[in-house]
Chains A and B, each alone.
Chain A
Amino acid sequence: MAIEQIIFYCFAGVLLFAASMVITVRNPVRAALFLILAFFTSAGIWLLLEAEFLAMTLVLVYVGAVMVLFLFVVMMLDIDLAPLQEGFAKYLPLGILVAALITIEMIAVLGASHFGLDLVAAPIPHAADYSNTKEIGLLLYTVYVYPFEIASVILTVAIVAAITLTLREKKSKSQNISEQVKVRREDRVRMVKMDAVKPEINEHQESKS
C-alpha cells in the first residue's frame, strides 16, 4: 500500500467519524468543533488530489471565518434541545431503514468496481513549480466568467435578503452631517432640578411584577 493510500484512509476515517459526531453529539458547541475537524480532514483529502488552493481556502474561509461566526451564534443563542430531540425514537426505525438502503446502494455503485483506479486514473502529479491557483484564476475569469458573475449576483441577493429580513427599524440609519454639526447643547441635554429622595416603593405594584 502506497503512502498516499494510508494517508487517504486516515483522513477519510477521521472525516467520517467527525461528520457522524456532528449530527449525534448533544452539545451544539461540540458539534461545531467536530465540523471544524471535518473541514480540516477534507482539506487534507483535497491536498492529496493536488488541489492546494481549494484546500487552503477551505481552511481559511470555512474554519477561519464561517465556523468562528457559527460558534459565536451557537454560544449566544439559548437553544433548548429538548423539543429538538422529541420524536427521535419514533422516527428512528424509519430513518435507519432509509439510511441503510441508501448506504447499501451507494456502496454497490461507488465502490472499486465502478470507480477503481483502473477505471478512473489518479491525477498525474505536476512539477513543483506548477501553480494551482493560477490555473483556477485563468479558468474562473475566462471560461467560467458567466457562472462567476451569477455567483456574485447570488451574494448580492443574500445580503439584500438578510438586510430586508432583519432591519426592521422605521427610521433610516444614514448620517446627516450638517445636522450633526449644527447641534446645540439645548437639543441634547436637559437639566432637571429634583430633590435627592428615595422613591416610595409601591407594595401592590411590586407584587404584581
Chain B
Amino acid sequence: MTFEVLNMSLALPEMFMLAMACTILMVVAFLGKNSAKMAYVLSQLTLAVTAILIYQSFGDSGVTFDGTYIKDAFSDVLKLTICVINIAVLLYSTSYLKDRGLFKGEYYVLAIFSTLGMMIMVSAAHFLTIYLGLELMSLCMYAMVAMHRDSMISTEAAMKYFILGALASGMLLYGMSIIYGVTGNLEIAMVAQVIQAGSLDNTVLSFGLVFLVIGIGFKLGAVPFHMWLPDVYHGAPTAVTLFIATAPKIAAFAMTIRLLVDGLGDVQQHWQGMLIMLSVLSMIIGNVVAIAQANLKRMLAYSTISHIGFILLGILSGSQEGYAASMFYALVYSIMSLGAFGMIILMSRQGFEADNIDDYKGLSSRSPWYALMMLILMFSMAGIPPLVGFYAKLTVIKSIVDINLISVAIVAVMMSVIGAYYYLRIIKVMYFDKPIEQEELQAPTDMRVMISVNGLTVLALGVFPGSLLAVCASVFY
C-alpha cells in the first residue's frame, strides 16, 4: 500500500483556526474568571490572521484530503467574508454581552468553533464534510442561543432551534444517503460525473433531491420551512441574533451551491421547480407578515425570509450570471443585516433591549448621525437606487428575466414594493415622530466607529458596485 502525503497547506486557514480555538479554550480554562477579555482579544486576532492567510493564498486551488476538501476562488471569497463579518460581529457584541452578564470566555470559544464550521462547509467537496461542518456550526449556535439561562424566551428559542435544526439535519442526511444509494458516491465531483454519464434511476434521484432541498430550505429559513426563524431571532440575545443572522447565511448559501449546482447541476430542471416554489412563497410571506410586526428583531427576521427568497431566485435561474447574482446578494445581505442588528445593539443598554420599533421614535433628533446610518441600511434593504441593496435585487431579477420566468420576476418586484413599506416605516418613525425618551446613546467608541463604517460601506458599495460584482462573477466563470 502506498501512502501519498496530503497537501495540507491548502487547508492552512482551517488548521490555524482550529489550533487557535483550542488555545483559547485552554486560556479560558486556566485563567478562569478574568479570561473573557483575553478570549475576546485572541478571537479577534484569530479571525484577523485567518483572513490574512486566506487573502494571501488567493489564486491557489485544488482538492485535498482524498476529495473531501476543496479550495477554489468561490471558497476563498466566501471564507474571507465570513472572517471579516465575524470580526465586526464580535466587535458589536462586547458591550451588549458585558451589560447582561454574558461576557464569558466560552462565548468566544463557541463563536470561533462555529466560524470554523462555516469555513469547513464552504470548503466542502464531500457530502460528509458538508454535513459535519453544518453540525459543528449549528451545535455552537444552539449553545450560544441558550447561553442567557435566566431568560425564559432564550431557552425556548434555543429549544425550538435545536429540535428543528436536528430535524433538518435528518432530512439532509436522508437525502444524501438516497443520492449515495443511487450514484454510489459521496464526493460531490464524482456524484456530478455519475449523473452526467446518465443511465441513472431518475425517480430515486429526484426522491433524494426532495429531501436535500427540504434540508437546505430549513437551514436557509425559506418558506414553508421558516417557522423557527422569527422565534429564534426574537428570543436569542441580540448579540447572538447578530451572529446567526449574518455569516451562517453565507455558509448556507455555499452549501446550497455545492449541493445543487456542483453536485446535482445536471438535474437542474428537477430542482428548479422546487426552488421557484420556495422562493416565491418566501418573498410573499416574508414581506407581508413583516408589515404586521411591532418588534424590530421579528420584523428583520421576516425580512430575512424575504431576502432568502431573492437569493434563491438567482440560484434557480441555473445560469452562471444567476449564481454570481445570488452570491452578490448573499454577501450584501449579510453586510446589511450586520448593520441593522448592530444598530439594535447600539441603541440598547443595560436593562433595555431597544427591539421595539417604537424605541426608535425621534432618533433623528437624539442622534442624527446614527439615524442617518439606519436610514441608509433600511433604504438599502428596501432596494432603493443609490444603495447596494438595489443592485443586489436588480441582478437577481435580471437573471430570471434572462431565462424567461417573467411571472416570477413580476412577483419579486411587487414584493419588494410591499417590502419597502415596512422599511420606510422605520425611517418615518425615526424622522417624523416625537422622541419618547431623551437618553443619550451609551455605546463605546469602537462600536460607533464600526456602525459608521458599516453604513458607509453599504453606501460606497451602492455607488461603486462594480468591483464586488466583478469578484462574484469571476468566481463562476
Contact = CB atoms under 8 A, between A and B. Distances in A.
Interface stretch (A27-35, A84-92, A160-168, A193-201): A160-168
Nearest to B158: A165
A110 B206 CA distance: 12
B129 A154 contact: no
B207 interface: yes
Contacts of A165: 143, 146-147, 149
B204 A160 contact: no
Q: Is the interface of A mostly helix, strand, loop or mixed?
A: helix
Contacts of B65: 145-146
A161 B111 CA distance: 11
Nearest to A113: B203
A172 B32 contact: yes
Chain B interface category by residue count: 35 or more
Contact of A158 (B32, B120, B139, B204): B139
B13 to A, nearest CB: 14
Contacts of A163: 106
Q: Which of A110, A142, A158, A160 has the most B CB atoms < 10 Å from its CB?
A: A160
B68 A160 contact: no
A157 B113 contact: yes
A150 interface: yes
B111 to A, nearest CB: 11
B59 interface: no
Q: Is the interface of B mostly helix, strand, loop or mixed?
A: helix
B175 to A, nearest CB: 12
A32 to B, nearest CB: 18
Given A114-B201, A153-B18, A164 B136 contact: no
Contact of B129 (A119, A146, A161, A164): A146
B139 A150 contact: no
Given A150-B132, A153-B116, A161 B139 contact: yes
Contacts of B11: 146
Interface in A114-153: 114-115, 119-120, 142-147, 150-151, 153
Given A144-B128, A157-B140, A172-B33, A114 B110 contact: no
Interface in B122-154: 126, 128-129, 132-133, 135-136, 139-140, 142-143, 146-147, 149
B201 A150 contact: no
B207 A150 contact: no
B203 A109 contact: yes
Contacts of A4: none
Contacts of B140: 157, 161
A105 B207 contact: yes
16 contacts: A105-B207, A120-B181, A142-B3, A143-B66, A145-B66, A146-B11, A147-B129, A147-B132, A153-B18, A153-B136, A154-B135, A156-B22, A157-B113, A160-B110, A160-B143, A165-B147
Interface of A: 105, 109-110, 114-115, 119-120, 142-147, 150-151, 153-154, 156-158, 160-161, 163-165, 168, 172, 174
9 tightest Cβ-Cβ pairs between the two chains A and B: A161-B143, A146-B65, A164-B106, A150-B132, A109-B207, A143-B66, A147-B128, A146-B68, A157-B113
